[in-house]
Amino acid sequence: MIKNLTAKKFAKTVILPNLKNINFSIFLIMLALLLFTSPSFAQQADMSPTDVVAKVGGEVIIEADLGFAAEDLGQELANIPADQQRAFLISVLIDMKVLAQAAKKEKMEATEAYQIRLNYLEDRALRRAYFTDNIGPKITDEAVKKYYSELVADFEPIQEWRARHILVASIDDAQRIINEIKAGKGFENAALEYSSDTNSARNGGDLGYFRANVMTPPFEEGVKQLEIGQMSEPIKTDFGWHIIRLEDKRMSAPPSFEQMQTQLQQQMLIELFNEEIKQLKEQANIEITDPNIATQILAQEKANN
């Protein structure tokens, strides 16, 4: 959970919900809420939820139906160009109406299988409505900013360094390159030409910012001995011989609110859902007929808490 992260972890990572500890149904509801309450795919501002967008055999398809269909088809809809999504959804809804009307002609709504499915779909719709109406509105801008402020209040800055390096196989190669750099060759050009660390070589040997215990110990100790702009003598590690130049050092800062806003909204939704479902379960009389399944569910809930 985000509230249990240490200041060091907060400084080191962008915080995301831990999907391993999220009940899959919670995750799906969360995604649906985010989709449904965000600016819609192609819903028009000048239309109300009850406005008719199509008719099939006298039955209407309304604007709100497009939002419901978008929830069900979220991943598929994402692959449709934005200017075609509205037409796509209306087409899907027309197909659904045609099939539903055909099913009614065959009296399928009177079958036991239909009633069982209808009960399930009713529960799912009510669950989503409860989530949208009772939990979603609590995720206000003010609440998210307060959540962020509580996190950064405990933030402790950590020393970070930014360095470039050139990695070669032998001390003789390293010393030769150092001499070339001292004679006027640019460090960045030397890294691009000679370094066997091709990932950083493309950027002139730049490793970006890092903190203690990230690099191998001899490399880190070498960095700590340098002043900004200073180049090291050859340093041996398990990877080979390094030439290091310290570019900058700073104390770390927490990610900005803008960087964290979406992740914090998601995390707040998860925490609020967990609190709500826990309270409702405590008030409900729940019986599971299979004792083995009951044991598994209890174990899963315990692991997620």
Token output for 299? 């174990």
Beta-ladder partners of 206? 164
- Would you say 120 and 172 are in contact if contact means Cβ atoms under 8 Å apart? no
pLDDT at 118: 94
Closest CA to 103 of 241, 202, 79, 95: 95
DSSP 159: E
pLDDT at 178: 98
DSSP string, 161-204: EEEEEEEES-HHHHHHHHHHHHTT--HHHHHHHH-S-HHHHTTT
Using CA atoms, how far apart are residues 255 and 253, in angstroms rounded to an integer?
7
pLDDT at 132: 86
pLDDT at 14: 35
Identity of residue 234 = P
pLDDT at 305: 67
> Which fold would CATH assign to domain 159-251?
Chitinase A; domain 3 (3.10.50)
Token output for 40? 């819609």
The separation between CA 43 and the C-alpha centre of its own chain, rounded to angstroms, equals 25
Q: How far is CA 155 from CA 175, 195, 247, 286, in A?
A: 42, 37, 25, 42
pLDDT at 43: 59
pLDDT at 55: 95
CA terminus-to-terminus distance, the chain: 9
Contacts from 260-265 at CB under 8 Å and sequence distance 24+? 260/14, 260/15, 260/148, 261/144, 261/148, 263/14, 263/15, 263/16, 263/17, 264/2, 264/15, 264/144, 264/147, 264/148, 265/34, 265/139, 265/144
Q: At what angle do helices 24-37 and 257-283 cross, to 10 degrees?
A: 120
Q: Pick out the chain residues at pLDDT < 70.
A: 1-45, 305
Identity of residue 214 = V
pLDDT at 51: 92
Using the CB atoms, write b or e for 41-54: b if 16+ within 10 Å. Answer: bbbeeeeeeeeebe
Three-point CA angle 67, 130, 261, nearest 5°:
70
pLDDT at 2: 27
**What is the SS3 assignment for 1?**
coil
pLDDT at 297: 87
pLDDT at 154: 85
Adjacency order of strands within the sheet including 235-237: 206-211, 159-168, 240-251, 235-237
Q: Give kind and range of the element (H or E) at residue 262.
A: helix 257-283
Query: Domain boundaries in the chain?
Result: 2-150+259-304, 159-251
**Model confidence pTM above 0.75:** no
> Residues 6 or more apart from 200 whose CB is under 8 A from it?
164, 165, 191, 206, 207
